[in-house]
Chains A and B, each alone.
Chain A
Amino acid sequence: MSALIKLHVALALVGAVVTAAAAQEEHQHHEHHSDERTQSERAHIPPDPPQHPMGDMSEEEMAEMMDMDDTAPFGMVAFDQLEWRDTDGGDALFWDGRAWFGNDYDKALLKTEGERFDGDYEGSAELLWDHVISRWWSLQGGVAHDFGEGPSRTWAAFGVQGLAPYWFEVEALAYVGEEGRTAANFSAEYEMFLTQRWILQPKVELQLYGKDDPANGIASGFSDAELGLRLRYEIRREFAPYLGVVWSRKFGDTADLAREHGDDTDEFQIVAGLRAWF
């Protein structure tokens, strides 16, 4: 045993000693040691060359044969919000969801957000291409369509989506529509783990317009903001009911338009809903 300890020390001290020490140890175990080769060198036998080597094949063929394809696409459907809202005018249903399909670099993305109130639908649907451009950010571009009581508007959309420092999920999109209309939308959300399954999610959303659109109750400038705070319980990660509060407010001339209509310019709502994805 003490020989082994000595050997240990030797090994730790100088690399060059390794082979010598091993050979020395070899002396103790075996009689014949014709050269300086280590015990391992003598024992090791390289394999024969393959008799039936694999030939060339395309990347696709190889992926199929290996059953391993790191370019394979995935898809996801997610409803971040699918909720009932207690508005001043009565019950409303609200949704915010997305579906995507694609690989690590590029995804086709469908986003939709809206409200059903009094039998009428108002909201937007966007069909975007998402291309990853940096560690945490991707570019998005495509078309958006707003629908509702007033005339529908179609826009070209362009922006970024990603994860900002401190784990803020951020989305910022600019829109260019017909007749010189422009708009911008910004949203940020955060997830606070109260426990492993109780999660508090603050979210802020801001809306700007570049041009008046009175038929839709919109005036140029910073038009409205929404602050939400939702507490969900993840029964499963992909299935989480929640309760929350939402405070929304219209600003500037958009607020004036609302007042002219007899609508509130700010509202506080209790919400209850389901967050689900698959």
Chain B
Amino acid sequence: MSSMIQSPRARRPQLSRRSFLQAAGAGLFVLGANRGADVWAQSQTQTVLTGSHFDLQIGEAPFNFTGHKRIGTVVNGQIPGPLLRWREGDTVTLRVSNRLAARSSIHWHGMILPADMDGVPGLSFAGIPSGGEYLYRFKVNQHGTYWYHAHSRFQEQTGLYGPIVIERRGGERFPTERDYVVMLSDWTDLDPERIFSVLKKHSDYYNFGRRTAGDFFADVRKNGLSRTLADRRMWGEMRMNPTDMLDVSGYAYTSLMNGVTPTGNWTGLFSRGEKVRLRFINGSSMSFFDVRIPGLKLTVVATDGVDVEPVSVDEFRIGAAETYDVIVEPKDDRAYTIFAQAMDRSGYARGTLAPSLGLEAEIPPLDPRPLLTMTDMGHGGHESSSATPMEHSQMDHGQMDHSQMNHAPANPHAGHGAGAPSTTLEHPPTEQTPLLDMQVNRPNTGLDDPGVGLRNNGRRVLTYADLHTIGGPIDRRQPGREIQLHLTGHMERFVWSFNGQKFSEAKPLKFQLGERLRITLVNDSMMTHPIHLHGMWSELEDASGNFQVRKHTVNVQPAQKLSYAVTADALGRWAYHCHLLYHMEAGMFREVHVEPADGMADHSGHGDHS
């Protein structure tokens, strides 16, 4: 069976018998070879690298995931690259050589390290030239589940990514008998340059879930003519499409679990009664996945490498670059399906937990395609409970004054108290650009909305409101100032930006070394954006400013406003961007420059490139 289920006539080729056997053989090999507590199970040559010295080679290799041979970008010959297993407290040295014809790079996602070890060409270092190498060396002062990936053009899309597991000093806080990495990704047979140029010309090219004439009549039968017309009028007036969920769908993607297609069925073994830790990593370029294991409760114990108070759920959404560690305890001697459906329901990644090889469980049907609602457009009526009445009353007054937000020396809303994020909403003047298609005046401020397609689905779905980091924030100081950034874009023109400014149009954000500041993100678009700040933690707060959870990548839902605190203790130049790869390439990227306080020498170069 093909993994791509989106339109009855999807022309995705059926997996050939040959590639099916290859994939099945891959699972067999690994499971036969590794039966320890830690199994990194996937393709034939998948390896775990341990110790403190690592030799990694970036190169190319042929792959056949779909029945068609394609060239992938690999680390040590593999997709995903080898699992790097580090130990908290060690200093690791990684010699990365580049055998590609193009410049390359590896970024250690979520790692706290010196700026020149971060792996972003142009900001951290000059990149790794073709035929060259770079020596990364840094002390590992954290533990948990992370990953690495290329930060050069579309090399991540073509396969350059892999997992990192860092052993906690003193042992795991939540010990388990089994421990598996479950790395999700989106493979495409297409040239990513082609995907990008197609999106620029025809941004809904990959959307095969648009509302049709048939849907119109079905809606008329269900809701009546006037309500259906009103609904169509509203979307028509905005020139927005409620089915725009993911820019690149299963039409282009085959979702992989640990580098194995759904047909290949990656399998992790367990014995009844054992605790199994699953380290989910979303290493995809453009996909959000909704993950569940029918028949098992998922106890979430960590996100983005950081331990959280255990919370038991049925399902969670994982954005690009996020990680979630969950513990399951299968009570029965049977197979369980790990089911990760793409947010737009155009495909899924699938694997199996089983007491022995060759078993599989039923694969649940894809959920119905969700539609964005007015809630997702910031038109009120939202389900989140945390919006304060004050916020609405202020919002109703329309335009706020447009003070400079990016370079404001201090919180301009001191009247609200530094303890809570500002409740005012200010659209920066730079949003007056033709490359922006909507603005939200009544954002949703709650963290308890599971998001489009997951609301009221009968399952207990994780939200950010459920996540509480164990051990508190890394810095108890109140943020000294607040930077409000709007996530902006234009769906039709496929332009993405912060505050209406593409990377090429914006100056770096300046943080002062040592300061604690708050970043408030307002999503003025109808897409969910996973926002990743390099080099420093993003300490998510609730609407009242209470610390929730420490993350490296924060999903911001359509029309949502959320805040996190950042301690600027990492000198140098850092990347700050949407982790949807094509959004980043289209301009949703900023440089953050952490500078020494006045009077101190600047050892980190000058950030202004414009």
Are the C-beta atoms of A4 and B609 separated by less than 8 Å?
no
Contacts of A44 in B (CB 8 A): 112, 141, 474-475, 537
Is B63 part of the binding interface, using a Cβ–Cβ cutoff of 8 Å? no
Complex interface: stretch among B34-42, B316-324, B395-403, B539-547? B539-547
Q: B569 interface residue, CB < 8 Å from A?
A: yes
Interface membership of B275, Cβ < 8 A: no
Closest to B572 in A: A50
Chain B residue with the shortest CB-CB distance to A133: B434
A194 touches B212 (CB 8 A): yes
Q: Which of A46, A69, A192, A196 contacts B7 (CB 8 A)?
A: A196
Report the stretch among A162-170, A206-214, A216-224, A252-260 that lies at the interface: A162-170
List the B side residues contacting A237 at CB < 8 Å. Answer: 202, 205
Cross-interface CB contact of A67 among B115, B152, B209, B474, cutoff 8 Å: B152
Chain A interface mostly: loop
Return the chain B residue nearest A233 by Cβ: B9
Asked whether any CB of chain B lies closer than 8 Å to the CB of A89, the reply is no
Q: Is B571 an interface residue (CB 8 A)?
A: yes
* A193: min CB distance to chain B, Å: 5
Determine the main DSSP class of B at the interface with A: loop
B473 at the interface (CB under 8 A from A): yes
The answer, among B209, B435, B503, B606, for a CB contact under 8 Å with A68, is B503
B114 lies within 8 A of A25 (CB):
no
- What's the least CB distance linking B291 to chain A, in Å? 23
Q: Quick one: which of B301-347 are within 8 Å of A by CB?
A: 309-310
Q: Is B49 an interface residue (CB 8 A)?
A: no
User: A132 vs B434: C-alpha distance in the bound complex, in angstroms?
Assistant: 7
CB of B476 within 8 A of CB of A19, answer: yes
Interface digits, B98-127 against A, CB 8 Å rule (1 contact, 0 not)?
Answer: 000011000000001111110011111111
Q: Judging by beta carbons under 8 Å apart, are A15 and B473 in contact?
A: no
Give residues of chain A (128-178) contacting chain B, Cβ–Cβ below 8 Å: 132-136, 163, 165-167
> Quick check: A193 and B212 within 8 Å, CB to CB?
yes
Select which of B122, B503, B605, B609 is within 8 A of A70 by beta carbon.
B503
Given A135-B437, A166-B236, also A56-B609 (CB < 8 A) = yes
Which of B113, B233, B503, B587 has the most A CB atoms < 10 Å from its CB?
Answer: B503
In chain A, what residue has the closest Cβ to B571?
Answer: A49
Surface stretch bound by B, among A33-41, A111-119, A240-248, A265-273: A33-41
Q: Which listed residue, A50, A65, A277, touches B604 by the CB 8 Å rule?
A: A50
Determine the chain A residues whose CB is within 8 A of the CB of B127 once the complex forms: 65-66
Across-interface contacts of B121 in A (CB, < 8 A):
65-67
Query: In the bound complex, do residue A193 and residue B546 qualify as a contact, i.e. CB atoms below 8 Å apart?
Result: no
Residues of A within 8 A of B115 (CB): 47, 49-50, 53
B547 pairs with A70, CB closer than 8 A: no
Verify if B210 is at the interface (C-beta below 8 Å from A). yes
Flag if A22 contacts B472 (CB, 8 Å).
yes
Q: How many angstroms between the C-alpha atoms of A46 and B610 in the bound complex?
A: 29
Contact across chains for B122 and A40 when beta carbons are under 8 A apart = no
C-alpha gap A41/B569 in the complex (Å) = 12
A-contacting 9-mer, from B255-263, B350-358, B489-497, B519-527? B489-497
Name the B residues within 8 Å of A76 (CB-CB): 201
Query: Is A71's beta carbon under 8 Å from chain B?
Result: yes
Q: Are A67 and B102 in contact (CB under 8 A)?
A: yes
Chain A CB within 8 A of B468 CB: yes
- Count chain A CB atoms within 10 A of each CB in B112, B139, B309, B472 and give the residue with the most: B472
| Cβ–Cβ contact A53 & B573, under 8 A | yes
A25 to chain B, nearest CB (A): 7
Say whether B572 contacts A166, CB under 8 Å: no
**Given A50-B572, A66-B122, A197-B7 in contact, is the A38-B212 Cβ separation under 8 Å?**
no
Contact present for A47 and B114 (CB under 8 Å): yes
**A7, A19, A25, A62 — which one has the most chain B CB atoms within 10 A of its CB?**
A62
Assess the A53–B604 pair: CB atoms within 8 A: yes
* 0/1 interface trace, chain B 463-480, chain A, CB 8 Å (1 if under): 000001111111110000
Partner of B122, one of A49, A53, A57: A57
In the complex, chain A residues whose CB is within 8 Å of the CB of B214: 194-195
Tell whether B504 is near chain A: CB-to-CB under 8 Å.
yes
Complex Cα gap A48–B587 (Å): 30
The answer, among A25, A38, A56, A74, for a CB contact under 8 Å with B606, is A56
B419 in the interface, Cβ–Cβ < 8 Å?
A: yes
Please measure, in the bound complex, the distance between the C-alpha atom of A100 and the C-alpha atom of B610, giving whole angstroms: 28
Chain A residue with Cβ nearest B251: A237
Q: Is the CB of A62 within 8 A of B434?
A: no
**A59-B610, A193-B212 known; A135 vs B472 contact (CB < 8 Å):** no
Chain A residues whose C-beta falls within 8 Å of the C-beta of B142 in the assembled complex: 43
Cα distance, A165 to B550, chains bound together (Å): 42
Determine if A27 is an interface residue (Cβ-Cβ < 8 Å).
Answer: no
A37 CB → nearest B CB, Å = 8
CB of B584 within 8 A of chain A? yes
Cβ of A51 < 8 Å from any Cβ of B?
Answer: yes
Question: Complex Cα distance A134/B433, Å?
Answer: 7
Q: Which residues of the partner chain A approach B237 to less than 8 Å between Cβ atoms?
A: 165-166
B589 at the interface (CB under 8 A from A): yes
User: Taking A50-B114, A70-B586, A196-B210 as contacts, is the C-beta distance between A43 and B471 under 8 angstroms?
Assistant: yes
Distance of A26 from chain B, by nearest CB (Å): 7
Contact across chains for A15 and B609 when beta carbons are under 8 A apart? no
Interface residue from B103, B116, B202 paired with A50 (Cβ < 8 Å): B116
Please give, as numbers and ranges, the residues of chain A lying within 8 Å of B123 by CB-CB distance. Answer: 54, 66
Contacting residues, chain A, for B202 (C-beta < 8 A): 237-238, 277
Measured between beta carbons, the chain B residues less than 8 angstroms from A50 are 114-117, 124, 571-572, 603-604
Q: Closest CB-CB distance, B510 to chain A, in whole Å?
A: 15
Question: B482 to chain A: closest CB distance in Å?
Answer: 16
| Residues of chain A with a CB closer than 8 A to B470's CB | 22, 25, 39
| B402-461 residues at the A interface, CB under 8 angstroms | 419, 434-437
Knowing A48-B114, A70-B502, A132-B435, say if A54 contacts B573 (CB, 8 Å): yes
| CA gap between A26 and B567 in the complex, in Å | 22
Q: Is A23 an interface residue (CB 8 A)?
A: yes
**A18 touching B546, Cβ below 8 Å:** yes
Would you call A32 an interface residue if the criterion is a C-beta within 8 Å of the partner chain's C-beta atoms?
no
Q: Which 10 A-B pairs have the closest CB atoms?
A: A15-B546, A38-B472, A39-B471, A22-B472, A46-B569, A70-B587, A166-B236, A50-B116, A44-B474, A50-B115
Supply 26 A–B pairs (Cβ within 8 Å), ascending by A. A22-B472, A37-B476, A41-B473, A45-B112, A45-B141, A47-B138, A49-B603, A51-B114, A52-B125, A53-B573, A53-B605, A55-B606, A62-B609, A66-B121, A67-B153, A68-B585, A70-B502, A70-B503, A70-B585, A104-B502, A132-B434, A135-B436, A163-B492, A196-B9, A196-B212, A238-B202
Which residues of B pack against A, CB within 8 Å? 7, 9, 102-103, 112-117, 120-127, 138-139, 141-142, 151-153, 197, 200-202, 205, 208-214, 233, 236-237, 239, 309-310, 419, 434-437, 468-476, 490, 492-493, 495, 502-504, 535, 537, 542, 544-547, 550, 567, 569-573, 584-587, 589, 603-606, 608-610
